[in-house]
């Protein structure tokens, strides 16, 4: 009488293949998730800075962006009362280093940044230099 079934070696080969496929399947989406998180943050940061610049040109009340690298957040506040208009989180694993950029960041009534400068953002995998040039030019990013 012959017993049906798989040998121990066959089962181990199948389990090894499953573990390998699972490991590959998990690591790829994590990389893509981090990339999308970076893209989403920069898009939101861009729109918040444009809002800040436009509000400076259209309103008599002066707003400013306050960056809190240790608290992993930034806020936009009204100039007179320092009331928080909006607050955004920065991913916990990121590090922000202010180089020549002075906080608070604000614009004058013509849309020009008051104190130009640079900062470095260290994400999980990359570094970005954020430049706020003198004049009406918008800020830009350089991947380091």
pLDDT of residue 2: 61
Which of 44, 51, 46 has its CA nearest to residue 76? 51
The model carries a pTM of: 0.78
Q: What value does the mean pLDDT take over residues 101-121?
A: 92
- Which are the contacts of 76, defined by CB distance < 8 A and separation ≥ 6? 48, 51, 52, 63, 64, 65, 66, 84, 85, 86
- Name all domains of the chain by residue range, CATH numbers in brackets: 9-143 (3.55.40.10)
pLDDT of residue 74: 95
More confident residue, 23 or 87: 87
pLDDT tens sequence across 58-95:
988 889 999 999 999 999 998 777 899 999 999 999 99
pLDDT tens sequence across 67-77:
999 999 999 99
Q: What value does the mean pLDDT take over residues 3-26?
A: 82
- Confidence band for 31, pLDDT divided at 50, 70 and 90: confident
Q: Say how far apart CA 78 and CA 106 lie, in whole Å.
A: 11
pLDDT of residue 3: 65
């Amino acid at each position: 009488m012959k017993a049906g079934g798989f040998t121990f070696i066959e089962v181990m080969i199948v389990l090894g293949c499953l573990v390998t496929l699972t490991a590959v399947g998990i690591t790829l989406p994590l990389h893509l998730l981090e990339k999308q998180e970076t893209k989403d943050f920069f898009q939101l940061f861009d729109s918040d800075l444009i809002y800040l610049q436009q509000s400076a040109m259209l309103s008599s009340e002066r707003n400013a962006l306050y960056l809190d690298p240790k608290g992993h957040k930034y806020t936009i506040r009204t100039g007179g009362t320092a009331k928080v208009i909006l607050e955004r989180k920065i991913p916990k694993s990121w590090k922000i280093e202010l180089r020549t950029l002075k906080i608070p960041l604000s614009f004058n009534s013509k849309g020009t940044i008051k104190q130009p400068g640079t900062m470095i953002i260290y994400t999980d995998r990359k570094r970005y230099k954020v430049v706020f040039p003198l004049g009406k030019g918008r800020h830009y990013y350089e991947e380091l």
